[in-house]
Chain A
Amino acid sequence: MQATKTPVLEAVNISKSYGEKQVLADVSFSAGEGEFVCIVGPSGTGKTTLLRTLSALGTANSGEVRVNGMAITRPPAEVSVVFQDYSRSLMPWMRVGKNIELPLRRYKLSPAERTTRVTEALRDVGLEHAKDLYPWEMSGGMQQRVAIARSLAYRPQVLIMDEPFASVDAQTRADLEDLMLDIRARLGVTIVLVTHDIEEAVYLGDKVIVLSGRPASVSATVDVPLGRTRDQISTKSRPDYLELRAKIHAMIMQSPSSVSG
């Protein structure tokens, strides 16, 4: 039965144009339960457009997005988005606790249940003591952790992340990457992460979707058989890791879109 199981998130032949300019052409992929899927492609390939379509923040011209087999038209409760820029996604007038509570307004929860969820979400990202801080009192990495906690408090089946670590330093980035692997392992959530960083995509993903061309389409789906436990140093020095990284790099270099960047 494993093989016929409905994917949690499925993109089916998504095409999208802005006026005359087609951005996405027939993009299809799927993410199974607890799977970590990385979508990689150079800047300007329409990754953000794809992400907006996946989370129903934008609409496609054709094709559909299915969550648990059902086509979606509005942002579904099963999906939560972690945006690229935490400073534009956390509300500066809300303390950390309130920011995390915000999406919970969608549900009729008791105050006690809300508090529990906020506390749990903060614990999941290792920020137990930050509840009463304002976002701007924290470092960038901490703010992105809060944004991740906000998505987790929602208890989504799918976490969609748009270049979530693009604006933090390298060390913080490595910490956050490991945090996401840990969260997937502990909570069993499906993660779809969009990035331009091939190294990050291979390190995190069970599967890497390579997006290329103009308009962008899926040029390859690469399985990453590195196991679920990964380590910044040992995994990244494994020959099969390096080989995969080079292979995907070559695919992206060959695609015509890399010329114009």
Chain B
Amino acid sequence: MNRRKLIKVLPWITTPGLLVVLFVVWELSVKALNVSPLVLPPPSKVFENLGDLLGKASTWQNVQVTVIEIAIGFSVGVAAGVVVGVLLGKLPLLEASVRPLIIALEVIPKVALIPLFVIWFGFGMTTKVIIAALLAFFPVMLNVLLGVRSVERGHRDVMQSINASRWQTFTHLEVKSMMPHVFAGMETAIVLAVIGTIVGEYLGGNEGLGYMVVRTLNELNAPALFAVILMLASVGLAMYFIVTSFKRVAIPWHESVYGRKAEG
């Protein structure tokens, strides 16, 4: 096997291997050092709890709630981010007049606003969707704003030299060259949307995986808590994977996609 192939295959072998090693060391050290299962339960206990939880319909109900909140919040945030980003990118005067406000909004720790949203929108899904959307909005908007402005001058010349209309230039050039920026924003946005949703669930409501974390914590059920955290991690990974897969299909021509292929 040549080196390039090896680099491509290696993570698929080492990652499961490292996880197994981690779990074995964890299991053995907990046993050997006699750590209280309240502090650090052995992985065998965690997986036992995970199995139990996955067998319950209520767990899947909670997974569904969290996934829906993330999906809607993310979609709304991305859509709004693209629209506002394009507008601000296209209208420099508007951008200049609202820039201080945007920067202020951007640096506010938005999770600090969650209690307010709870007061305004209650303990239901709406609050979590709004938080996820708000967190997803900024990275997309800022990336798109940059993307609209960084259309290659040479490409503009080409469109101009063939007498393209403004609409043709927009659809054939600006939208296309903006796409990598949209996806760069989306990759950050999906991570933030997951965080926003979970923190929202911590603070209010009685459904979702975040709520399950709080409940198992209150029960001081450490193995179950670890199990829920594992589920949350899986949801986050799955969401990120969906976004990056979508990117591979949508912009196969971009170096962030084909570059990886060439290198692997």
Contacts and interface: CB of A to CB of B under 8 A. Distances in A.
Interface string B215-240: 00000000000000000000000000
Nearest to B168: A105
A74 B162 CA distance: 10
A81 B155 contact: no
A80 B161 contact: yes
A91 B176 contact: yes
A93 B258 CA distance: 12
A183 interface: no
B263 to A, nearest CB: 14
Given A57-B157, A102-B172, A93 B162 contact: no
Of the four ranges (under 10, 10 to 19, 20 to 34, 35 or more), the interface on chain B belongs to 20 to 34
Contacts of A80: 161
Given A91-B176, A134-B253, A75 B154 contact: no
B166 to A, nearest CB: 14
A108 interface: no
B173 to A, nearest CB: 7
B255 interface: yes
Contact of A88 (B152, B162, B168, B172): B152
Given A85-B154, A93-B253, A106 B162 contact: yes
B253 A88 contact: no
Nearest to A98: B172
A136 interface: yes
B98 interface: no
A89 interface: yes
Given A105-B168, A136-B255, A81 B176 contact: no
Pick the most buried of A75, A81, A89, A92: most chain B CB atoms within 10 A of its CB: A92
A203 interface: no
Of the four ranges (under 10, 10 to 19, 20 to 34, 35 or more), the interface on chain A belongs to 20 to 34
Given A75-B162, A75-B163, A106-B162, A89 B258 contact: no
Contacts of B258: 134, 136
Contacts of A225: none
Interface in B132-176: 152-155, 157-158, 160-164, 168, 172-173, 176
A75 B161 contact: yes
Contacts of B163: 74-75, 77, 106
B160 A75 contact: yes
A103 interface: yes
B59 to A, nearest CB: 43
B8 interface: no
Interface in A93-108: 93-94, 102-103, 105-106
B161 A81 contact: yes
Contacts of A77: 163
A136 B261 CA distance: 13
B251 interface: yes
A88 B176 contact: no
Interface in A135-181: 136, 154
6 contacts: A74-B163, A80-B161, A81-B158, A91-B155, A105-B172, A136-B255
Interface of B: 152-155, 157-158, 160-164, 168, 172-173, 176-177, 179, 251, 253-255, 258
